[in-house]
Amino acid sequence: MDNEVILRTERIRKEFAGVVALDDISIEITKGECRAIIGPNGSGKTTLINVLSGALKPTSGKVYLKGEDITGLPQYIIARKGIVKTHQYTQIFPNLTILENLWIAAQSKNKLNLFRDYKKNIDIKKKVENILKLIGLDYKSEYTVSKCSYGEQRRVQIGMALLTDPEIILMDEPTSGISPKERDDIVDLLSKLTKDNKTLVIVEHNVDVVLQLADIVTVLNNGRVIAEGTPDEVINMPEIREIYIGGSKK
């Protein structure tokens, strides 16, 4: 992790029919950082991720990527500029194989040709094979995605995101709804990405996952930032235990 601020928000506010979901959110995320966004249900976590990805336009405030104002740009343009969200931008094709899904993602910045033999493009072939190994699914590359477990599908999505060469990957609860073993696989993969200086922003409920992965934790409550710091600093704040954790890890 270095000191370059790659993503910055300036007093973001988001209202839905007069109801304030985000109120005066100003954060800075540095290149190579893993930022965890935590908070109780309804605190604004997913709304914030959706604003960052372009899925939602803020009512007011600014979003900057590497110093460029990207506020209100369409989601597909923000994705091209380098902010991808795993379960929205990287759409899995359930009736195709893992390899075919990754091949499609690898061509996303070029003219898409679904019928081109990926083996004829040495550079993309190597890139896809490296990602298959990274996500731990090289031995299953010919499996149809619909026959894969939910955790494996999550890893395919992360692999697809990586193949677009993103500046930042946004993830909304990447370990929810999967088995403990699959959760460990996801945590291991994300740990590898952080060691490789990838910038991650993760909404996560599992405190153990946050403690393992996050460099900095931002806590939201009622649409506002109420705390920010290292995982140990935040988890040990009595007010955070009371509001979010309830006094114990879960």
Integer Cα distance of 202 and 170 in angstroms: 6
pLDDT score, position 93: 87
**Out of 79-88, 147-156, 178-187, 209-218, which region has the weakest mean confidence (pLDDT)?**
79-88
Q: Confidence class of residue 90 from pLDDT cuts 50, 70 and 90?
A: very low
- Domain positions in the chain are 1-88+168-250, 90-163
Q: pTM score, two decimals? A: 0.89
Show Cβ contacts of residue 188 under 8 Å, excluding neighbours closer than 6 positions.
none
pLDDT score, position 239: 80
Instruction: Decide: 54 and 79 in contact? Cβ < 8 Å.
Output: yes
pLDDT score, position 205: 86
Q: Stretch 137-154: mean pLDDT, rounded? A: 93
pLDDT score, position 24: 95
Mean pLDDT of the chain: 89
- Has residue 159 got a pLDDT over 70? yes
pLDDT score, position 247: 44
- Convert the pLDDT of each residue in 6-39 to its tens digit: 999 999 999 999 899 999 999 999 999 999 999 9
Domain 1-88+168-250: CATH superfamily, name plus number: P-loop containing nucleotide triphosphate hydrolases (3.40.50.300)
Q: Stretch 221-230: mean pLDDT, rounded? A: 94
Q: Annotate 32-79 with DSSP letters as a single string.
A: T-EEEEE-STTSSHHHHHHHHHTSS--SEEEEEETTEE-TT--HHHHH
